[in-house]
Structures are given as C-alpha cells and as structure tokens.
Structure 1
Amino acid sequence: MKVLAFAASSSKQSINKQLASYAASLVKDAEVELLDINDYEMAIYSSDRENETGIPLAAQQFFKKIGAADAIVISFAEHNGSYTAAYKNLFDWTSRINMKVFQGKPVIMLATSPGPGGAQSVLNAATTSAPYFAADVKGSLSIPSFYDNFDLEAQQLTSPELLDKLVSVMATLN
C-alpha cells in the first residue's frame, strides 16, 4: 500500500507534519511518501489568474500525487480556527482541476496543536466537507497539547490512551 502523508501547514517545524509522518508509519506494510506542501507553493488563487495563466503545474503535480496513492493521511494545523492559508490555496487550485480532489481515496484526517483544543475546529471543517471532494474518510483524531503527548526525540505519542486511539484509526487503512 502506498500512503501519501502530509501536514496542511507550511511551517518547517510543523508538529502536524511530525504527527502525519508518525501516523502513516503505523500502517502495516506501507510505503509512505511524506510531502511538504511548501513544494507546491503558488500564487493566491483567483479566477482572473486562472483565466490568464491556467492551472499551475504545482497543483497538477499535487493532484497526480493524490491519484497515485492508495491512501492519504493529512494532519491539519489550525490558524484562527480554520485552514492554513498555504493549504487552502493549494486545495483551491487543485479543486479547479477536478472537484473530486481526493479521487475516492481512503483518507485519515488528523489535527494537533500545542493547546488543549487540538485544532478540533479545522478538523471538524475538514471531515465535514471532505466527502464533497471525493474523500472516503476512514477516521479522524485530534491530538491535544502536542508537546505534552508527543516525544519529539523518539517521534512518537507518549499517551497510551491517545496511542490506542491513533492505532485504531490507522488500522482502518489495513
């Protein structure tokens, strides 16, 4: 199984990238490709720009990466209760290729933050809207207080309760 994992964050020290990578590593016998959405940076979407220059190559490449995967793991960072601008822009451009951005793939949606909310607002928005974009959402999980629940050196969850929940969510891909 080929699993595509990424954080919906442009931070170079993204805790969501760490979570996505760790979660994807829990899928048995999977080949994991960890994307950095910074590699898909492009001008802010506008219909005028699309009419003038077409859909950027970066959006087309991202869409192909999703299409080539057997499953997708996304961990969402939350900016002011919503998606990061970097992810939203990438998603908006990609949706102009085909509204079925996720192409019917099984998707695990995660989120984390340093605080106790665990980015639940953005995770709720993502899981609620995902089916409209052809995502087969197999499960979702919010990890609150990331730095209290994740060992940065070992790159793994330390909370047995959260680990059990994450293992259960990730098992839906097997």
Structure 2
Amino acid sequence: MASILAFAGSNSSTSINYKLVKYTSGLVGENEIKLMDLSTLPVPMFSEDVEKAHGYPNDMVALNEDIKKADGLMISVNEHNSGPSAYFKNLMDWLSRVDKRFLADKKILLMSASPGKRGAQSALTYVKDTLPRFGGEVVATFSLPSFKDNFSSEEGILDETLKNGHQEALQVFLNSI
C-alpha cells in the first residue's frame, strides 16, 4: 500500500482544482491518501527579507515533511493569465528554500482544470517542466477543460473520453508508486 499526498495549487475556497484532486483521491483504492486543502494555509509572499527576519513558515516546514513521507503526489494546478497561480508559485518558492530537492524521488500525477476550453494547459505545462528541477518525476498528466460542463460533484467527470483519459493517467501514476 502506497502513501499519497493530494492537494490543489490554489488558495481559493471554491477551487475547481481542489474539487478535481478530491474526486481523484477518492479513486485510489486501498492506498493511503492524505488530502490537503492548502487554501487554509496562511503563507506569506516569499522574500529573502522575510526569510531572514522570520525563517521558514511553519506550514511550509510541515508541508515539506508531508511531502517527504509520501510515496507519490497528486497535484492539480490552476491557471492565472496563462501560468500557474502566484499562490502555487509562492509555495514552490518557499518549499525550495526549505529543501532545494523537496520533491526528491516523488512520483507525481499532475492535473489541471479550468472553466475554459484549454483546461489550464499552459499552467500544467509550466509546472510539468518545473517540478523535475526539485527532484520530482511527473509520471502522468491530465487536463480537464470546460469544468462546469464536464464535471459534477455527484458523478465526477461526465465526458466519457475525458473520464477514460483521467482513469488512464491515474492508473499510470498508481502503477509507478
């Protein structure tokens, strides 16, 4: 049985990416899952001045420890202006200060969702290209476009092609951990 840490890279209390990662975490079967709502973490904007004056935020030290304990990560990133949100970038900035290789040897299922037709693919691509710099291996990706048309809290992913793509990505991830 593998240990999986799941979260969305959003600080919105109504995050569709959190809804996607929550749905996905419900499909992991017998694996141990820790689902985190990062929107509850009060993380200051990264600055060397803040780091020198106050050190690392306790929440970032704790998140780093949770990442280390996990065999794999399920992350769903949101997109703001064709890139990952400033919140998610800030998390990566802090985590990389706590430990430059904070993702060492972690297998990652990377997802994204958006209300638009591209499914936050620009943010997904950026993050996919960035996470290996910190030691992580993105083993599978999935993008959910037109979230309101393609997802239901009761039924999950509605479009059959997208549902199959999601299942395939999840299975690749689960087989890797």
TM-score range, shorter chain: over 0.9
| Contact 1:6 1:20 (8 Å CA) reproduced | yes
Q: How does 1:53-132 map to 2 (within 5 A)?
A: 53-132=54-133
Give SS of 1:96's match. Answer: helix
Name the Cα RMSD after superposition. Answer: 1.2
Percent identity, aligned pairs only, is: 35
Counting matched residue pairs gives: 173
Q: How does 1:140-159 map to 2 (within 5 A)?
A: 140-154=141-155, 156-159=156-159
State the one-letter code of the partner of 1:90.
L
User: Which stretch of structure 1 is more off in the superposition, 141-150 or 97-106?
Assistant: 97-106
Give SS of 2:79's match. Answer: coil
State the one-letter code of the partner of 1:97.
V
**Aligned mates of 1:124, 1:91 — CA distance in 2:** 15
Q: Which runs of 4+ in 1 moved over 6 A?
A: none
Which digits, 9 at most, give the CA deviation of each residue in 1:117-171, with x for residues without a partner? 10000000011111111111111111110111111233x1111111111111111
Q: TM-score, normalised by structure 1?
A: 0.94
Give SS of 2:8's match. Answer: strand
Which digits, 9 at most, give the CA deviation of each residue in 1:72-126, with x for residues without a partner? 0000110111121222212211110111121211100000101101000000001
Which digits, 9 at most, give the CA deviation of each residue in 1:9-36, with x for residues without a partner? 1111111011111122222311221111
1:161 corresponds to: 161
| Contact 1:40 1:90 (8 Å CA) reproduced | no
State the one-letter code of the partner of 1:67.
K
**Aligned mates of 1:57, 1:128 — CA distance in 2:** 27
**Aligned mates of 1:89, 1:130 — CA distance in 2:** 14
Shift of 1:38: 2.3
| Contact 1:41 1:86 (8 Å CA) reproduced | no
**Aligned mates of 1:92, 1:84 — CA distance in 2:** 12
**Aligned mates of 2:72, 2:102 — CA distance in 1:** 13
Give SS of 2:118's match. Answer: coil
The alpha-carbon distance between structure 1 residues 103 and 39, as it changes in their structure 2 partners (threshold 3 A), is farther
User: Which stretch of structure 1 is more off in the superposition, 58-67 or 32-41?
Assistant: 32-41
**Aligned mates of 2:42, 2:122 — CA distance in 1:** 24
**Aligned mates of 1:134, 1:24 — CA distance in 2:** 23
Structure 1: gaps (5+ residues): none
Q: TM-score, normalised by structure 2?
A: 0.93
